[in-house]
Structure 1
Amino acid sequence: MQDVARAAGVSAKTVSNVLGDYPYVREETRARVMAAVSDLGYQMNFAARNLKSGRTGLIMLALPELSLPYFAELADAVIDAARGEGYTVLVERTGATREGELAVLGGGRLRMVDGLIFSPLALGPEDAGVLAVDFPVVLLGERIFAGPVDHVTMANESGAEQATRHLLAAGRRRIAVIGVHSGEAMGSGPLRLRGYAAALGRAGLTVDPELLVEAGEWHRETGAQAMHRLIDSGVGFDAVFALNDALALGAMYVLQRRGFAVPGDVAVIGFDNVDDGAFSTPSLSTIDPDRRHIARTAVSLLLRRIAGDDSLAEPVEIAPPVTLVVRESTMGRS
């Protein structure tokens, strides 16, 4: 910094003000300093700056995986939201395992960041105690409720109810669900299944267990495999509610390969509104949870915690609203 100051003919304090975006610096002086920075190849010592401020300017985003479109697009949204606040995001993939998720909470890399946005899949309500950590955390998803940290969740149940009501309004009565995990009590799957059952009940229908199709990880391949099993079972159905868009895209591919018209014979709807769904053939109806709203809310909460916002006395839980997106897979081409 002293070298830059000498080259620009200013004080080291002025150089610091320019590099720190201090507003009250003459443009001529700012230009001279930046020219010296460029000529000398100067890079700010962030470690020293962070020691002084107590902040790193980094936050961590821990997600189960990045190959699933929803999480990849969520990561993009978080990065954009954080960048708008002057923060950089360090992304960690947990592999959706208990070991991976616990490693994030106890890992050394957290010393590099100011806070954590965390989306667990393996941890559950019984693990709420592990979130009682000495750094800011905002939780995403549905795995842990009533924990000691802020939680941005999703309106899974109402979204699934909207999806099912949409299929019922289109005249469908044998609505299969793809993506069920038997015995799972917490998470997106059970909540979405509950919304499906509620919509059927309001229409005077009951849940047929033969229409609930298991799937492992919610990927295109498992959606395709589940669809093959449902068709091969001989059970009659005229619609499919897939518990996420990846499952829906896999199921829709198999339906058409095996001679079913979509939506003529079978209407298909997903959940998540990933970008691929708008460009599938036919385009995919879905539930939009508004990833960007979720990302902005999570980043805002985390930065308020980092700044020590006294108005956030207790952990808060926020569920942004979801929206039905109607496309060709349920209503055909207009």
Structure 2
Amino acid sequence: MAVTMRDVARRAGVSPKTVSNVMNGYPYIRAETRTKVLAAIDALGYQMNISARNLKSGRTGIIGLAVPELSLPYFGELADQVIVAADDHGLTVMIEQTGADRDRELTVLSRPRGHLVDGLLYSPLGLGQEDIGQLKTSTPMVLLGERIFHSPVDHVMIDNVPGTKAAVEHLLSLGRRRIAVLGIHPGEKVGTAAIRYGAYADALTEHGLPVPSELAFPAGRWHRSTGAEATERLLASGLEFDAILGLNDTLAMGALRVLSQHGIRVPDDVAVAGFDNIDEAQYSTPSLTTVDPGRAQIARKAVELLVRRMAGDDSEHEEIAAPYKLHTRESTLGIS
């Protein structure tokens, strides 16, 4: 027997109208209510009949955005840019978090709620080469972010390698030679940490410098707290260093806090740089030198590609790297 909207409403403890509002992307719904409804949809395997709902177009006018973690400023600001770009095409955005967990990322690709959207912008961090076949879904999709593998869908990427090299070369141009790195993931072969650390190492090698592996410090989730903890371990090690590269801005900001607490002057004693150019970077004390990965361009191009695929474009899939820009600020140049 087919599952109905009333079945979903009964399980979630809400009205059928509320279920309808959640499924149609109505914005003024409490997060707790939305979560309960989506959980009920998953549990019962409910699928909305899109063509019955809209006989004219067979479309919902909604696209999905699946990101690892909205509490990380990069993804929160990316979501904002996606909403702006989607609005230009008359589309609404439904956002979901995966926690960078492989199982949850795979669930996004297979769950019934995928039928609630016309297309999906998808930023996975937990998937690997063995999961490439899972990307072949009936829902049009564009990958965002890291260049993990050549996939069967369009991919709009951060230009991690030249962007990271630009940050390292900037530090080298200032005479820094002992550059510590915060945020590595030991054993990782694909993904942001591996790509950016590899680019850091290549930049040093290209300048005839040894790669100081002892100055590479792990951090699991890239938050301010883990950046602070890694910096404390760096200071406790007694190793000499004259610069820190945070593999993202929040790690670098955690470092700025700890250096200040220990009376270490930035940039006089230690220069600090990050990656992502989150809004906070230009207002931190000191303001943070960082790489802008082209977040607005990523969002705009990804939505444009998705709209094309939703319209039936079956041309060869594209891999596009957004242009980056290095913003040099007080954390490396000092206050002028």
Question: What TM bracket, shorter-length normalisation?
Answer: 0.7 to 0.9
Match of 2:326 in 1: 324
Q: Does 1:80 align with 2:84?
A: yes
Secondary structure at 1:62 match in 2: strand
Q: Shift of residue 117 of structure 1? A: 0.3
Q: Shift of residue 144 of structure 1? A: 3.3
Match of 2:120 in 1: 116
Q: Does 1:204 align with 2:195?
A: no
Q: Shift of residue 197 of structure 1? A: 1.2
Match of 1:59 in 2: 63
Separation of aligned partners in 1, 2:54 and 2:209: 60
Q: Identify which of 68, 92, 117 aligns with 2:72.
A: 68
Separation of aligned partners in 2, 1:142 and 1:77: 17
Unaligned runs of 5+ in 2: 1-49
Separation of aligned partners in 1, 2:55 and 2:259: 59
Separation of aligned partners in 1, 2:108 and 2:326: 34
Secondary structure at 1:129 match in 2: helix
Deviation string, structure 1 residues 16-61 (Cα, Å, up to 9, x no partner) = xxxxxxxxxxxxxxxxxxxxxxxxxxxxxx9866232111100000
Separation of aligned partners in 2, 1:232 and 1:144: 34
Match of 1:158 in 2: 162
Match of 1:194 in 2: 198
Q: Shift of residue 268 of structure 1? A: 0.2
Separation of aligned partners in 1, 2:54 and 2:282: 43
Q: Shift of residue 99 of structure 1? A: 1.6
Separation of aligned partners in 2, 1:284 and 1:159: 15
Separation of aligned partners in 1, 2:111 and 2:305: 22
Separation of aligned partners in 1, 2:288 and 2:204: 22
Secondary structure at 1:53 match in 2: coil
Query: How many residues in Structure 1 have an aligned counterpart in Structure 2?
Result: 287
Unaligned runs of 5+ in 1: 1-45
Deviation string, structure 1 residues 146-165 (Cα, Å, up to 9, x no partner) = 11111111110111100000
Question: Contact (CA 8 Å) 1:120, 1:143: kept in 2 or not?
Answer: no
Q: Shift of residue 142 of structure 1? A: 2.0
Secondary structure at 2:202 match in 1: helix
Give the TM-score of the pair, scaled to structure 1.
0.84
Match of 2:27 in 1: none
Q: Identify which of 50, 53, 66 aligns with 2:54.
A: 50
Q: Shift of residue 238 of structure 1? A: 0.3
Secondary structure at 1:287 match in 2: strand
Separation of aligned partners in 1, 2:216 and 2:264: 19
Q: Shift of residue 202 of structure 1? A: 2.0
Give, as a single letter, the amino acid of the residue that structure 2 aligns with 1:281. T
Deviation string, structure 1 residues 149-197 (Cα, Å, up to 9, x no partner) = 1111111011110000000001101000100111100011111112111
Separation of aligned partners in 2, 1:206 and 1:151: 34
Separation of aligned partners in 1, 2:199 and 2:103: 31
Give, as a single letter, the amino acid of the residue that structure 2 aligns with 1:332. G
Q: Does 1:263 align with 2:263?
A: no
Q: Does 1:168 align with 2:172?
A: yes
Secondary structure at 1:213 match in 2: strand
Amino-acid identity (%): 59
Deviation string, structure 1 residues 234-286 (Cα, Å, up to 9, x no partner) = 00000001100000000111011111000010000000000011110000000
Separation of aligned partners in 1, 2:222 and 2:267: 22
Question: Contact (CA 8 Å) 1:220, 1:250: kept in 2 or not?
Answer: yes
